[in-house]
Amino acid sequence: MAMDVLRPPAGFRIDHAVLSTYSLDLDVLLALPLAVLAHSDRGVDELMEEPLLLLEALREAGERVHVFVDESGIAIPHTNRALYSLLETSVHPVRSVNGGTFHPKVWVVRFVSDDAPPRFRVAIASRNLTFDRSWDVALVSENAADEQRPVEASADLARFLNTLPELTAQTLDVQRIDVVRALAEDVARTSFPAPQGFRGPIRFHGLGLEDGADTPWQLERKGNGLLAIAPFLSATTLDQLVRLSRPPRTLISRREALDALPPRHREAWDSILVLSESALDEPDDRQTERHSDLHAKLIALEHGHQVTWYVGSANLTHAAFTGRNVEVVAAITGPKGRPGSDKGSGIERFVESGFPRLCEAYRPGEPATEDPKIAAARERLDTARQRLVKGDLRVVCRPEGKAWTWMLEGSVALPEGVSVSAWPVSVNEDHARPLELPLAWPLPMSRLTAFVAFRVEADAAIDDVRMALKLPASGIPDSRVAQVLRTLIDSPQRFLQFLRALLGGLDSMPDWAMGNGGGSWQRHQSDGLDNAPLLEDLVRAASRDPQRLEPLQRLIEDLRATSEGPSIVPDDLYEMWRTIYAAVHHDLDQATPRDSAETTGTSNATT
């Protein structure tokens, strides 16, 4: 789903994307830009075979893609990569205003074109930004903005976007706040059509966006047939749904969640299902660390000849329905269809669609009982996790001669009976140290990072808590990105590969990633340092988009300033670059804004 949602329509390109998630795997975010650009479903390790392409995709995605994640929801990566540092500008930890979790799975993307008005795509899903292989559900829609008036059905989606900057644990810079709020303004004027078979636009519901919200969210009407699916349940929310509906009622959930319910709260349901063992099997032994279980959240309520489906992030729990958590739900309504008909969108059609065939009837088991010592240890682990998240922790980096010292400073009060280890995610877990602040690691500049991994263990036979936090960081030099570049660009040939791809921009990179020909920048290394193709690329970039030369100027000067620089950027190439850059820079300085715009437009029309 992730790749399809971000993939632009024909003739369009991504302008900005705002993604929200409860949990985040950094490798998913690392793979996302290149996988989308290259139209590839390859894994991260395969994508890393094109590190220079990935690097530029990440640099540009840092300005275009904004991920808002629950501040305790970042997973510790399985590998240590210097490239994780390039994700920091895209990742924004957030917290619920009412003490719960930040739980929405919302993607909003703005696509632009030179020949058409912007288009907006929204996805409301139950899936997080992880590699989990769970059963999930998503609703995706796309449209252009209506410039005439706000759309009532989209008001809550716009309100959610407007609220995001206020929820961040660390203050966003003004530029990113402006991007998010401009997107909210556009969304407020966009009507997102429901899928075929439904009527009217999608209606969005934002929960937990206001401080102190404790009034239970109510479905829009009562009904006479109900389907509810969620992995997590609470008795109060199930009873609320039962009061809104008459039989038949069907509930699909996880076995352990159903076992935990008192029997009387299951009696009102005519059918209770769980996924069968075959649906939970792992077909690939290499995927055993990834979850495979029910994770979809949806409600279908039939009323008269209509049915309304609610899709989103909200579990059937008290925290979700009372606004303790931040959630977003989308509602669509259509005809339910007649019994036996192949038309309509009712619950019967869903039952016939095949998913319930992956299920089996729930048979009550014994509620899980937990040893009091284990329960107490679990509580201590959760307390320690919360205190780490809310604690006064920060990253400080200081130069020490030619090396750097990465330090974790601050204070946090941990409960007794737990031990905590920490390490920067850019190094192996073998380098973890007990959390006795301050902690220090000697690191090269390319490994400096604001992402810190924590392992919390209890003095009991219970799984440890593992998470990564993005902490406030100071002392990280702006040249860190260039240092990461130096670890990847170690020869003139690799420099030219990167330079030609960079000149083409993100829209030109997929061919290179997929190994296709086309374009003078696509040259084999055996071409050596032939400057003619590169000169052609530089002139083309200078005429079409002279601002694209600015990052090249910073890169080349930064590389030349190092001892190995002249061997990576040879003198003849450097002199050619200086001549072109000086000429373009002179023209930009001499042109008025109107002249510059007209010149660029003429170049675009004639190139």
Cα gap 488→439, rounded to integer Å? 29
Determine the pLDDT at residue 380: 93
Query: How many other CB atoms are found less than 10 A from the CB of residue 247?
Result: 13
Give the C-alpha distances (Å, rounded to integers) separating 596 from 504, 547, 582, 586: 21, 12, 16, 12
Determine the pLDDT at residue 544: 67
Query: Does this chain's domain 2-190 share its CATH topology with 207-279+292-361?
Result: yes
Determine the pLDDT at residue 52: 59
Do residues 503 and 538 touch, judged by C-beta distance below 8 A? Answer: yes
Assign domain 389-478 one CATH number from 1.10.287, 2.60.40, 1.20.1630, 1.10.8. 2.60.40
Cα gap 254→367, rounded to integer Å? 13
Do residues 258 and 272 touch, judged by C-beta distance below 8 A? Answer: yes
Determine the pLDDT at residue 528: 40
- Range 207-279+292-361 has CATH code 3.30.870: yes
3-state secondary structure of 600: helix
Q: Please identify every stretch of the chain with a pLDDT value under 50, giving residue numbers as ranges.
A: 39-40, 283-289, 506-529, 588, 591-607
Give which of 236, 235, 275, 234 is closest to 252, Cα–Cα.
275
Give the C-alpha distances (Å, rounded to integers) separating 37 from 31, 506, 514: 10, 7, 10
The pTM for the full model equals 0.84
Query: What does the domain layout of the chain look like in residue ranges?
Result: 2-190, 207-279+292-361, 389-478, 489-606
pLDDT in tens, 277-302: 877 755 444 334 455 789 999 999 99
Do residues 118 and 110 touch, judged by C-beta distance below 8 A? Answer: yes
Outline where DSSP puts E strands in 336-443: 359-361, 392-400, 403-411, 418-424, 433-434, 439-443
Query: What's the topology of domain 2-190?
Result: Endonuclease; Chain A (3.30.870)
